[in-house]
Amino acid sequence: MENKIPTVDEFVKSRFQNSDRADFESNKRNVIEFAKLHVQAQREAIKKKATIKKRYDGNIAKEYWEDIVDEQSIDNAYDLNNIK
């Protein structure tokens, strides 16, 4: 899957074109931190609210199904290092 989300350089340059270099670097760090906070908050919300129905095997009765969320798969779904 191709990442079509702009890098912070592209994002900040497109919105803060009249900023000097010091402002640009400060804005860049702030945008990266902001994005990471939101990704982490989204991961936690998904872990709390997402469910996946899984059957143990074969034709086990529905009352023996278990709700399972693979939290690590959520954490690994999008690498925070992509936020740059």
Question: What is the tally of structural domains in the chain?
Answer: 1
Residues 29-67: pLDDT tens digits? 888 888 888 888 888 888 888 877 666 656 666 666 677
Within-domain flag for 53: yes
Domain limits for position 59 = 8-82
Within-domain flag for 50: yes
Residue 79 has pLDDT above 80, yes or no: yes
Within-domain flag for 3: no
The pTM assigned to this predicted structure is: 0.57
pLDDT computed for residue 2 by the predictor: 59
Within-domain flag for 31: yes
Beta bridge partners of 68: 52
- Residue 12 neighbours by CB distance under 10 Å: 22
Give me the residue label for tokens 């902001």: 34
pLDDT range class, residue 82, cuts 50, 70, 90: confident
Radius of gyration of the chain (CA): 20
pLDDT computed for residue 34 by the predictor: 86
